[in-house]
Structure 1
Amino acid sequence: MNAFPSAPSTGSLFRRRPLLALGAVAAAAVLITGVFVVANGRNLERIGYFADWNVANRDFTVKELDDSGAPEHLTRLMWAFGDVSPEGLCHVPGNHDQPWELYQRRYDAGESLDGRADDYEQELAGSLHQLRLLRQKHPHLGASLSLGGWNWSTHFSTAARTEESREAFVSSCLDLWLRGDLPVFEDEPQGGDGVAAGIFDGIDLDWEWPGGGGHPDNVEHPDDAAGFALLVAEFRRQLDELSRETGADYTLSVSLPGGTAASGAYDDAVFDHVDFATVQGYDFAGPWNEETAYHSNLYTPGFDPDADSVDRAVRSYLDMGAPPEKLVMGVPAFGRGWQGVAPADAGRGQAADGPADDAYDGPTMAFSELREREGRRFLDEEAGAYWVYDGDEWWTYDNPEVIRLKGEYVLEQGLGGLMVWNLDMDPEGELVRAMDDSLKS
């Protein structure tokens, strides 16, 4: 049975908007290795973020990820997040539960990916040991450590402030996450130089945001945008040095905001140094809006011509000088909701009493829960958006049909692939498979 009954396909609301050329149309796609697509000679990225705190909070372990089938459809896993200390260095905070979950927790046989219980004395345990097992099982799968995020971008500005601070910061990140020199905490046997070497083969910079508008606790300086470009260049320089030392290749990526106003803070020099940049194609609307609105629409909807969209975000970076093949479109595995929504136009663009009740993290809900909600469902094919309305609550999110539209856009515009935040919200891997399938169209 189709879990997502479509709204009527007649009327202007559901007419498909033609995909507009942003540059050269991608060459015909062909399959390689039976899984992934090459367009214009490029491997298209299928990237998924793994939120490490949800190993404990939602019992979504690396084994659960593997059981979902998602890894065989992904090219890279982004591990969220690494912290930046007040001194502007990469570190594992000792006053946080991360050391335990990350590499000290001993898994029993039933929760371990290889079916073997951890030894108490082994040098590396926890999620990082499980990630090593996952990459051994799926050799094609890359893994990047993502630094910052919304809550842990506080001291990025300190790290990027001077040439000396940038050199020290990057060196500390490579030692900790790529060379695998983990600290020893509280007399636990885990940790030590090189114990996590080779688990990560990339660094992702998710500084939210060097142009301002991030967490209110963030340290900020007026030249942060310029400092970010210099920091990216320093990462590239030291990663290249590490490559010469080890003979391995290392991936460098950055996360960019989807709002067109925020994108103006970035320097196009960033794209000279990264392998790709993910564009957050979501959070265009949320609890800060008094009326319902799409939060991850591909195009600007007709009912809200001033709204942000994925297309507008992509165009803003292309206008800046970004190569299209280095832009990876981010899609959400979560929705945004409002309650007390007026019934006109099936709740779309209507006044609301406020955000919907907390369902996941704030007024958000995971795709796995949204797909089971009761209510009337609608696909706005022109805007590339989807929603469900039960007469009171209104939720907007991406379903596989929307992912298909976005994958077609990626192929036709010659972009670098798709990324999803985050994998525990899609515990059966349905959206990941939709990503993969859409890039084979």
Structure 2
Amino acid sequence: MPRCRWQLPVALATLLVALGLTAPAHAGDGLTATFTKTSDWGTGYEARYTIKNGSPTAIDGWTVEFTLPSGHRISSLWDATYTVSGQQVTVRNASWNGAVASGAQVSFGFGVAYSGTYADPGDCTVNGRPCDGSSGTPDTESPTAPANLRNTGATSNSITLAWDAASDNIGVTAYDVLRGDTKAGTTSQTSFTVTGLAAGTSYTFTVKARDAAGNTSPASSPVTASTTEGNGDPGPGPGGQRKVGYFTQWGIYDRGYFVKNIDTSGTAAKLTHINYAFGNVSADGRCFEANQQGVGDAWADYQRRFSAGQTVDGVADRYDQPLAGNFNQLKKLKAKHPHLKVNFSLGGWTWSKYFSNAALTDASRKAFVASCIDLFIKGNLPRIGGEPQGGPGSAAGVFDGIDIDWEWPGSEGNAGNIVRPEDRQNFTLLLAEFRRQLDAYGAEVGRKYELTAFLPADPAKIEAGFEVPKIFSYLDFATVQGYDLHGAWEKITNHQSALYVPEGDPSEPERRFSVDKAISTYVDKGAPKDELVLGVPFYGRGWTGVPNVNDGLFQPASGPAPGRWEDGYEDYKRLKNLVGRGYTVYRDTIAGHAWLFDGSTFWTFDDPTELTRKTSYIKSKGLGGAMIWSLDGDTANGELMSAIHNGLSR
């Protein structure tokens, strides 16, 4: 039988080991066993040991030994066999998991009941050597210096370096990149992008290697490299055009849109910025993650483990890695596309409820900003629910700045949001505090962090909430709402993102919105044109029960059109498939908008033709680029993103 044929070699190998004719590899030769506690309920816990073969050859059997603290006892163990002598536990591989190929790993799990104070098991050995992979004696040997340090690319605010791997008697664990005598960053890879640099400036770099014992190598030979000329923002793109895309943390669920898709669609190569949406604000004015105070999505942000097919680099997440989720994938995406900046967005429609509290006083602003920088810039994420993800500095380097999406200071957004008359001035003061603390921390680590904001299209909300142009003295740029100008919350069909107010718009005069009206309001109030980035939609707004009159435009409707995720809302990638299936595309080439209509259902949307029209508007007005809400609405090959990229590149 097939089962017997594969069992026989394993059984034979185990017998040879027992007879002393074949010896398993020593831990000091690359075998390690790592302890991870997976849950704890106060009187017991579950945990696992992961045995990894870091040697160049396969092993044919393993034994892990460890000592439990007094008052602790094994209650169960699986995927291995075990014996106990006092507090000493000896665990041997099962018949089917003793052979471990080079670079592979296996694990066993166990339960422990305990009384008194919890403590980790101690005195761990694997095949007779310490579980951490050391030889059992203090490691005092330093790694060799990294060789062939070189400049592999530069922008106006960054330089990418690469070098040949250093060697060590046990193993190199990290490389420190130095700009002069200042540490610019640390990486486990043999390349690193130093950001936050001045344009047209020369810098000298060296790299040192470190091992697990803290031994540091001599510095590499220095290399001098220069940034390109420019203002340091926003990176690649003719005329300094920014291309900013919002990635939604919840898109990884039903939508199945992962950070990986930004890369495989070709979009990552065309963007300059990604805004990660969203972070929440607590009632007492703090940035926080889920389960600290109740609302958020830490699981999507940094805890969820992705399979190999869901990751940017095709490498599956491990259970015990310090950073997982979207944050880890964004880090991988940035390594693959060094020009990309990723900013963390705070608020949004749902999570702006307590922004007014956070901005209310000098003390509240200082505390709020400090909490946001600690979490998302310094990367000090909390460990939640017994998960190994999180901890000090676990997300350091993921985010390049903060994006403020307060919807809206001085006027109500989502129902129940706190609104105060002083929000308008406090918004400016909040930006000033963000700029102060971001610059102070940036000076400590030798880089510049961005500050951006999302601004409304409604002139009344602009007047109520924003001191233009004061806010632009603190912002690197601002994105302007160019969508949701109309939608199924209204009773009559209309455009959601027209460049100009269409002829015959039946709205009240103060509700006749358009892209140009919003942009003109900001410019007239003193906003710099090249710091205004126009928002465009990758989705449509729809109504149903619409009379077959005037191709459905400006007609009464019975309600919102059915949508996959939300009634009255549909992604472009689904709307485009309606064309030719009872729906016809109509365009107003003067006002600059398009819609679909089948005689009863009406969708206002942007397609490549309308986005090309908008990129022409952006260039003609001297604006700072385009912003997308949101990336998950595009097709698998990035059809809409290509239209924006090509339009801004002409």
Q: Is this a same-fold pair by TM over 0.5?
A: yes
- The answer (yes or no) to whether the contact 1:88–1:158 under 8 Å persists in 2 is yes
Q: Judge conservation of contact 2:353–2:418 (CA < 8 Å) in 1.
A: yes
Could you tell me whether the CA contact under 8 Å between 2:247 and 2:277 is conserved in 1? Answer: yes
1:14-66 deviation line (CA, Å, top 9, x unaligned): xxxxxxxxxxxxxxxxxxxxx94332xxx210010000011123111111222
How far residue 359 of structure 1 moved from its aligned partner, in angstroms, is: 3.0
- Note the residue ranges of structure 2 that are not aligned, 5 or more in a row: 1-234
| Candidates 44, 48, 57, aligned match of 2:245 | 48
Q: Structure 2: how far apart are the matches of 1:65 and 1:215?
A: 29
Please state how far the C-alpha of 1:97 moved relative to its aligned partner. Answer: 6.4
Percent identity over the alignment? 45
1:274 aligned onto 2:482:
no
- The structure 2 residue matched to 1:432, chosen from 641, 644, 647, is 641
1:381 aligned to which of 589, 595, 606: 589
Taking the aligned partners of 2:238 and 2:260, their CA distance within structure 1 comes to 29
Would the aligned equivalents of 1:36 and 1:436 in 2 still touch at CA under 8 Å?
no
Shift of 1:362: 3.4
Rounded to whole Å, the distance in 1 between the matches of 2:310 and 2:560 is: 36
Tell me which of 250, 270, 283 is aligned to 2:449: 250
Partner of 1:392: 600
The one-letter amino acid of 1:135's match is K
Query: Which deviates further from its counterpart, 352-361 or 428-437?
Result: 352-361
Cα distance, 1:256–1:370 mapped onto 2, change above 3 Å = same
Of residues 111-120 and 122-131 in structure 1, the stretch that sits farther from structure 2 once superposed is: 111-120
Q: Residue 564 of structure 2 aligns with which residue? A: 359
- Which among 419, 423, 433 is matched to residue 631 of structure 2? 423
Q: Distance in 2 between matches of 1:412 and 1:229?
A: 29
Contact in 1 for aligned 2:238/2:648 (Cα 8 Å): no
Given the alignment, which residue of 323, 326, 330 partners 2:531? Answer: 326
Which residue number corresponds to residue 28 of structure 1?
A: none
Contact 1:65 1:427 in 2 (8 A): no
1:127 to 319, 322, 326: 326
Query: Which one of 402, 407, 429 corresponds to residue 230 of structure 1?
Result: 429
Which position in structure 1 is the counterpart of 2:62? none
Amino acid at match of 2:644: M
Structure 2 residue aligned with 1:37: 237
Q: CA deviation at 1:357?
A: 1.8
Q: Is the 8 A contact 1:103 1:191 kept in 2?
A: yes
The one of 538, 543, 551 equivalent to 1:346 is: 551
Q: Is residue 103 from structure 1 mapped to residue 302 from structure 2 by the alignment?
A: yes
Question: Structure 2-normalised TM-score?
Answer: 0.61
From the two aligned structures, give the one with the greater strand fraction: 2
State the AA in 2 paired with 1:200: F
> What SS does the aligned partner of 2:503 have?
coil
Q: Which has the larger radius of gyration?
A: 2
Checking the alignment, whether the CA contact within 8 Å between 1:36 and 1:440 is kept in structure 2 is no
5 Å-filtered alignment, 1:190-209, equals 190-209=389-408
CA distance in 2: counterparts of 1:411 and 1:299, whole angstroms: 16
- CA distance in structure 2 between the aligned counterparts of 1:259 and 1:368, rounded to whole angstroms: 28
Matched, 1:214 2:409: no
Q: In 1, distance between residues paired with 2:406 and 2:602?
A: 31
Output the CA distance in 2 between the equivalents of 1:319 and 1:419.
21
How far off its partner does 1:213 sit?
A: 2.3
Instruction: Rate the CA distance shift 1:331–1:273 in 2: closer, same or farther, 3 A.
Output: same
How far 1:236 moved relative to its partner? 0.8
Of residues 338-347 and 90-99 in structure 1, the stretch that sits farther from structure 2 once superposed is 90-99
2:495 to 289, 294, 305: 294
Residues in 2 aligned to 1:250 and 1:362: alpha-carbon distance in whole angstroms = 38
1:330 partner SS: strand
Unpaired stretches in structure 1, ≥5 consecutive residues: 1-34
Q: Which has the higher contact order (CA 8 A, sep 6+)?
A: 1
Q: Give the SS at the match of 2:489.
A: coil
Match of residue 30 from structure 1: none
| TM-score normalised per structure 1 | 0.89
Using the alignment, how far apart are the partners of 1:211 and 1:432 within structure 2?
34
1:107-153 Cα distance to aligned partner (Å, 9 max, x none): 22222221112221111111111111001001011000000000000
- 1:299-345 alpha-carbon deviations (Å, 9 max, x no partner): 11012174100000000011111000110000001111111111221
Q: Structure 1 pair 192/267, CA: closer, same or farther in 2 (3 Å)? A: same
Instruction: Give the distance between the partners of 2:545 and 2:397, measured in 1 at CA.
Output: 51
Check conservation: 2:455, 2:479, Cα contact below 8 A.
Answer: yes
Cα deviation, residue 203, structure 1: 0.4
Closer/same/farther in 2, CA of residues 402 and 207 from structure 1, 3 Å limit: same
Q: 1:61 matched to which residue of 2?
A: 258
Give the structure with the higher percent helix: 1
Q: Which position in structure 2 is the counterpart of 1:401?
A: 609
What count of residue pairs does the alignment treat as equivalent? 404
Deviations 1:184-225 (A, max 9, x none): 111111111111001000100000000212111212222111
Hey, what does 1:371 align to over in structure 2? 576
Counterpart pick for 1:187 among 378, 386, 396: 386
SS of equivalent to 2:364: helix
Deviation at 1:431, TM superposition (A): 1.1
